Amino acid sequence: MPRTLIAGNWKMHKTGAETAAFLDVFLPLSASFPADVDVAIAPPFTALGAAAERLRGHNRVGLGAQNVHWELQGAYTGEISAPMLAEHGVTYVIVGHSERRAQCNEVDLTCNLKVKTLLAHGFTPILAVGETFEERNTGSTDARIASQMHSGLKGLSEADVARIVLAYEPVWAIGTGQNCDPLEADRVMGNMRACVEGLRNVPILYGGSMKPENARGLLGQPDVDGGLIGGAALKAESFLGIVEAAKA
Protein backbone atom coordinates (compact mmCIF):
# COMPACT_ATOMS: atom_id res chain seq x y z
CA MET A 1 0.00 0.00 0.00
CA PRO A 2 1.46 3.43 -0.91
CA ARG A 3 2.63 5.72 1.88
CA THR A 4 1.07 9.14 2.15
CA LEU A 5 3.32 12.06 1.14
CA ILE A 6 2.58 15.75 1.67
CA ALA A 7 5.16 17.75 -0.29
CA GLY A 8 5.37 21.53 -0.35
CA ASN A 9 6.51 23.11 -3.63
CA TRP A 10 7.51 26.65 -2.73
CA LYS A 11 8.16 27.70 -6.34
CA MET A 12 9.90 31.13 -6.48
CA HIS A 13 9.13 32.06 -2.88
CA LYS A 14 11.27 32.50 0.24
CA THR A 15 14.86 33.58 0.72
CA GLY A 16 17.24 31.57 2.85
CA ALA A 17 16.36 33.66 5.91
CA GLU A 18 12.63 33.22 5.26
CA THR A 19 13.14 29.48 4.87
CA ALA A 20 14.93 29.28 8.20
CA ALA A 21 12.14 31.28 9.86
CA PHE A 22 9.49 28.96 8.41
CA LEU A 23 11.27 25.87 9.67
CA ASP A 24 11.80 27.40 13.11
CA VAL A 25 7.99 27.45 13.38
CA PHE A 26 7.21 24.24 11.48
CA LEU A 27 9.78 21.79 12.81
CA PRO A 28 8.63 21.89 16.45
CA LEU A 29 5.22 20.76 15.16
CA SER A 30 6.69 17.68 13.48
CA ALA A 31 6.52 15.64 16.68
CA SER A 32 2.77 15.40 16.12
CA PHE A 33 3.02 14.14 12.52
CA PRO A 34 1.44 10.71 12.05
CA ALA A 35 4.02 7.97 11.58
CA ASP A 36 2.49 6.85 8.27
CA VAL A 37 2.59 10.31 6.65
CA ASP A 38 5.80 11.57 5.02
CA VAL A 39 6.34 15.33 4.76
CA ALA A 40 8.77 17.24 2.52
CA ILE A 41 9.47 20.77 1.36
CA ALA A 42 11.02 21.91 -1.93
CA PRO A 43 12.41 25.44 -1.53
CA PRO A 44 14.20 27.40 -4.27
CA PHE A 45 17.79 26.36 -5.02
CA THR A 46 19.17 29.40 -3.19
CA ALA A 47 17.41 28.34 0.03
CA LEU A 48 18.46 24.68 0.02
CA GLY A 49 21.49 25.38 2.20
CA ALA A 50 19.44 27.18 4.83
CA ALA A 51 16.83 24.41 4.77
CA ALA A 52 19.46 21.68 5.06
CA GLU A 53 21.00 23.43 8.06
CA ARG A 54 17.67 23.61 9.88
CA LEU A 55 16.70 20.04 8.94
CA ARG A 56 19.94 18.52 10.22
CA GLY A 57 19.01 16.03 12.91
CA HIS A 58 15.30 16.08 12.02
CA ASN A 59 14.01 12.98 10.26
CA ARG A 60 10.33 13.90 9.92
CA VAL A 61 10.68 16.49 7.15
CA GLY A 62 12.43 15.61 3.89
CA LEU A 63 14.17 18.05 1.58
CA GLY A 64 13.22 18.36 -2.08
CA ALA A 65 14.30 20.40 -5.09
CA GLN A 66 12.16 21.87 -7.84
CA ASN A 67 14.26 20.82 -10.84
CA VAL A 68 17.51 19.17 -11.95
CA HIS A 69 19.52 18.79 -15.14
CA TRP A 70 20.00 15.31 -16.55
CA GLU A 71 23.74 15.79 -17.07
CA LEU A 72 26.07 15.68 -14.06
CA GLN A 73 28.26 18.58 -15.16
CA GLY A 74 29.05 20.67 -18.22
CA ALA A 75 28.33 23.89 -20.07
CA TYR A 76 24.73 24.32 -18.92
CA THR A 77 24.54 27.87 -17.62
CA GLY A 78 22.02 28.33 -14.84
CA GLU A 79 21.36 24.62 -14.35
CA ILE A 80 21.75 22.43 -11.24
CA SER A 81 23.08 18.86 -11.21
CA ALA A 82 22.18 15.84 -9.12
CA PRO A 83 25.52 15.87 -7.22
CA MET A 84 24.92 19.53 -6.30
CA LEU A 85 21.56 18.59 -4.83
CA ALA A 86 23.00 15.57 -3.03
CA GLU A 87 25.48 17.86 -1.29
CA HIS A 88 22.54 19.54 0.46
CA GLY A 89 20.86 16.29 1.47
CA VAL A 90 18.05 16.56 -1.10
CA THR A 91 16.09 13.33 -1.50
CA TYR A 92 13.04 14.33 -3.60
CA VAL A 93 13.17 16.21 -6.94
CA ILE A 94 10.13 17.50 -8.84
CA VAL A 95 10.22 16.74 -12.57
CA GLY A 96 7.87 18.05 -15.26
CA HIS A 97 5.86 20.51 -13.20
CA SER A 98 3.24 22.12 -15.43
CA GLU A 99 4.78 25.59 -14.96
CA ARG A 100 8.12 24.34 -16.22
CA ARG A 101 6.43 22.55 -19.11
CA ALA A 102 4.59 25.74 -20.08
CA GLN A 103 7.23 28.38 -19.30
CA CYS A 104 10.59 26.60 -19.65
CA ASN A 105 10.01 24.27 -22.59
CA GLU A 106 10.12 21.14 -20.43
CA VAL A 107 9.04 18.21 -22.60
CA ASP A 108 8.41 14.52 -22.02
CA LEU A 109 11.86 13.59 -23.38
CA THR A 110 13.74 15.78 -20.90
CA CYS A 111 11.47 14.59 -18.08
CA ASN A 112 12.46 11.03 -18.94
CA LEU A 113 16.17 11.90 -18.96
CA LYS A 114 15.86 13.62 -15.59
CA VAL A 115 13.95 10.72 -14.03
CA LYS A 116 16.64 8.28 -15.17
CA THR A 117 19.46 10.45 -13.81
CA LEU A 118 17.71 10.87 -10.47
CA LEU A 119 17.04 7.16 -10.06
CA ALA A 120 20.64 6.35 -10.95
CA HIS A 121 21.84 8.62 -8.15
CA GLY A 122 19.46 7.53 -5.42
CA PHE A 123 16.86 10.33 -5.52
CA THR A 124 13.09 9.97 -5.53
CA PRO A 125 11.66 11.76 -8.59
CA ILE A 126 8.22 13.33 -8.27
CA LEU A 127 7.00 13.19 -11.86
CA ALA A 128 4.13 15.59 -12.52
CA VAL A 129 1.56 15.05 -15.26
CA GLY A 130 -1.75 16.69 -16.04
CA GLU A 131 -4.11 18.23 -18.54
CA THR A 132 -4.90 21.80 -19.54
CA PHE A 133 -8.37 23.36 -19.50
CA GLU A 134 -8.63 22.86 -23.26
CA GLU A 135 -7.63 19.20 -23.04
CA ARG A 136 -10.18 18.55 -20.34
CA ASN A 137 -12.93 20.30 -22.33
CA THR A 138 -12.20 18.18 -25.40
CA GLY A 139 -12.33 14.94 -23.41
CA SER A 140 -8.63 14.14 -23.85
CA THR A 141 -7.62 14.19 -20.17
CA ASP A 142 -6.94 10.46 -19.88
CA ALA A 143 -5.12 10.21 -23.21
CA ARG A 144 -2.91 13.20 -22.44
CA ILE A 145 -1.93 11.91 -19.02
CA ALA A 146 -1.25 8.40 -20.33
CA SER A 147 0.99 9.88 -23.03
CA GLN A 148 2.97 11.91 -20.49
CA MET A 149 3.38 8.89 -18.24
CA HIS A 150 4.49 6.47 -20.96
CA SER A 151 6.99 9.02 -22.30
CA GLY A 152 8.25 10.13 -18.89
CA LEU A 153 8.79 6.54 -17.71
CA LYS A 154 10.05 5.13 -21.00
CA GLY A 155 12.86 2.62 -20.66
CA LEU A 156 12.45 2.12 -16.92
CA SER A 157 12.22 -1.33 -15.39
CA GLU A 158 9.23 -2.19 -13.24
CA ALA A 159 11.55 -2.04 -10.20
CA ASP A 160 12.64 1.50 -11.13
CA VAL A 161 9.05 2.62 -11.71
CA ALA A 162 8.28 1.44 -8.17
CA ARG A 163 10.85 3.94 -6.81
CA ILE A 164 9.17 7.11 -8.09
CA VAL A 165 6.33 9.34 -6.92
CA LEU A 166 3.68 10.65 -9.33
CA ALA A 167 1.73 13.89 -9.09
CA TYR A 168 -1.53 14.60 -10.89
CA GLU A 169 -1.79 18.30 -11.74
CA PRO A 170 -5.00 19.46 -13.36
CA VAL A 171 -3.26 22.46 -14.90
CA TRP A 172 -6.45 24.50 -14.92
CA ALA A 173 -6.61 24.27 -11.11
CA ILE A 174 -3.05 25.35 -10.28
CA GLY A 175 -2.93 28.76 -8.64
CA THR A 176 -6.53 29.47 -9.60
CA GLY A 177 -8.22 28.55 -6.35
CA GLN A 178 -10.20 25.89 -8.24
CA ASN A 179 -9.74 22.24 -7.51
CA CYS A 180 -10.81 19.06 -9.20
CA ASP A 181 -13.84 17.29 -7.75
CA PRO A 182 -12.47 14.61 -5.37
CA LEU A 183 -14.27 11.78 -7.14
CA GLU A 184 -12.97 12.91 -10.53
CA ALA A 185 -9.44 13.32 -9.17
CA ASP A 186 -9.64 9.79 -7.77
CA ARG A 187 -10.87 8.44 -11.11
CA VAL A 188 -7.98 10.03 -13.02
CA MET A 189 -5.42 8.94 -10.44
CA GLY A 190 -6.77 5.39 -10.45
CA ASN A 191 -6.31 5.32 -14.23
CA MET A 192 -2.77 6.57 -13.73
CA ARG A 193 -1.99 3.70 -11.38
CA ALA A 194 -3.23 1.18 -13.97
CA CYS A 195 -1.39 2.85 -16.83
CA VAL A 196 2.12 1.48 -16.23
CA GLU A 197 3.36 -1.70 -14.56
CA GLY A 198 5.00 -1.19 -11.17
CA LEU A 199 2.79 1.57 -9.76
CA ARG A 200 0.81 -0.50 -7.28
CA ASN A 201 2.65 0.90 -4.23
CA VAL A 202 3.75 4.21 -5.74
CA PRO A 203 2.31 7.33 -4.05
CA ILE A 204 0.21 9.44 -6.42
CA LEU A 205 -0.20 13.01 -5.19
CA TYR A 206 -2.90 15.52 -6.05
CA GLY A 207 -1.44 18.87 -7.10
CA GLY A 208 -4.09 21.45 -7.85
CA SER A 209 -4.93 24.08 -5.20
CA MET A 210 -5.12 21.69 -2.26
CA LYS A 211 -5.59 23.57 1.01
CA PRO A 212 -6.74 22.74 4.53
CA GLU A 213 -10.38 23.40 3.62
CA ASN A 214 -10.54 20.78 0.85
CA ALA A 215 -7.69 18.45 1.80
CA ARG A 216 -9.75 15.94 3.74
CA GLY A 217 -12.17 15.36 0.87
CA LEU A 218 -9.32 14.79 -1.57
CA LEU A 219 -7.10 12.75 0.73
CA GLY A 220 -10.02 10.54 1.68
CA GLN A 221 -10.19 9.08 -1.82
CA PRO A 222 -8.66 5.61 -2.27
CA ASP A 223 -6.21 6.53 -5.05
CA VAL A 224 -5.14 9.92 -3.64
CA ASP A 225 -1.98 9.25 -1.64
CA GLY A 226 -1.03 12.80 -0.71
CA GLY A 227 -0.55 16.25 -2.11
CA LEU A 228 1.94 18.39 -4.02
CA ILE A 229 1.11 21.67 -2.32
CA GLY A 230 1.82 25.14 -3.69
CA GLY A 231 0.46 28.27 -2.02
CA ALA A 232 -0.84 26.51 1.09
CA ALA A 233 2.68 25.21 1.83
CA LEU A 234 4.10 28.71 2.29
CA LYS A 235 2.63 29.20 5.76
CA ALA A 236 3.42 26.75 8.53
CA GLU A 237 -0.13 26.76 9.88
CA SER A 238 -1.85 25.95 6.57
CA PHE A 239 0.75 23.36 5.62
CA LEU A 240 0.30 21.71 9.00
CA GLY A 241 -3.47 21.74 8.40
CA ILE A 242 -3.00 19.58 5.30
CA VAL A 243 -0.71 17.19 7.18
CA GLU A 244 -3.38 16.92 9.86
CA ALA A 245 -6.01 16.23 7.18
CA ALA A 246 -3.85 13.36 5.91
CA LYS A 247 -3.72 12.00 9.45
CA ALA A 248 -7.50 12.17 9.72
| Residues catalogued as catalytic | 97, 169
The whole-angstrom separation of Cα 166 and Cα 189 is 9
CA dihedral sign, ordered 70, 47, 51, 27? negative
Q: Answer for the pair 20, 53: CB distance below 8 angstroms, yes or no.
A: yes
CA 102 to chain centre: 17
Q: Answer for the pair 1, 213: CB distance below 8 angstroms, yes or no.
A: no
**Number of neighbours of residue 138 by Cβ within 10 angstroms:** 12
**Number of neighbours of residue 89 by Cβ within 10 angstroms:** 15
Q: What is the DSSP letter of 240?
A: H
Amino acid at 61: V
DSSP string, 199-236: -TT--EEE-SS--HHHHHHHHTSTT--EEEESGGGSSH
DSSP string, 89-154: T--EEEES-HHHHHHS---HHHHHHHHHHHHHTT-EEEEEE---HHHHHTT-HHHHHHHHHHHHTT
Count helices and strands in the chain by DSSP H and E runs: 11, 8
